[in-house]
Amino acid sequence: MNVEIRKAKEKDYKTVFSLDEKFVLYHSRFKVWKLFEPSDKMRKVWKKLFIGFIKKRNKLALIAEADNKIIGFLLGKINKRRGFKIEKTAHIEKIFVDENYRNKGVATKLKNEFIKWAKKKGAKALTLYVAVENKKALKLYKSWNLKKYCYGMYKLLK
């Protein structure tokens, strides 16, 4: 399978949004869902967010294409940390690959391209958040040599 990784363009918005809907649906199986369940306003907000990842200098939206269609995406950014020896970290905000194209190295290719970009921007570490129940993603990240470094905790307030 020939997979091409490229920077996203504004016109990709609709296709990427439909993949993002699958990303969201996939996460609805996890207990933390209540905290991340989108509201009716998500569609509008999402477009703005997506365009931010395309246009802002410290952000990147990557697309994976195969068989002449978009099969995955990565949204990432550079976090600036003033006062730390490691001043810039590369953060993967979202990564998703269409179900029919999984386990073929697409996510790994997206991550590698993101790291290439991030290193040029001066990033010295890679970070991301993952649901504790997302075993598949956790396994993958372990294979990327990522280490667990903190627990995110939440409670819904009544």
Nearest to 75 by CA among 42, 48, 44: 48
SS3 142: helix
Residue 105 is a binding residue for ligand COA (CB under 6 A): yes
Beta bridge partners of residue 89, listed in sequence order:
79
Least distance in Å: CB of 59 to ligand COA? 17
Which of these ranges, 3-11, 41-49, 51-59, 95-103, lies near ligand COA under the rule CB under 6 A?
95-103
Residue 23 is a binding residue for ligand COA (CB under 6 A): yes
User: Tokens in use for 72?
Assistant: 């995955």
**Strand ranges in 54-125 using DSSP code E only, listed in sequence order:** 59-66, 69-80, 88-97
Residue 66 is a binding residue for ligand COA (CB under 6 A): no
CA dihedral 26, 28, 32, 37 (to 10 degrees): 110
Residue 16 is a binding residue for ligand COA (CB under 6 A): no
Q: Which residue has the tokens 């690959």?
A: 97
For ligand COA, which is the closer residue by CB, 59 or 87?
Answer: 59
Question: Can you tell me which of 18, 79, 108, 112 binds ligand COA, judged by CB under 6 A?
Answer: 108
Residue 140 is a binding residue for ligand COA (CB under 6 A): yes
Residue 137 is a binding residue for ligand COA (CB under 6 A): yes
Given a contact cutoff of 8 angstroms between Cβ atoms, the answer to whether 115 and 124 are in contact is no
User: What is the binding site for ligand COA (CB under 6 A)?
Assistant: 23, 26, 95-97, 102-108, 130, 134, 136-137, 139-140, 143
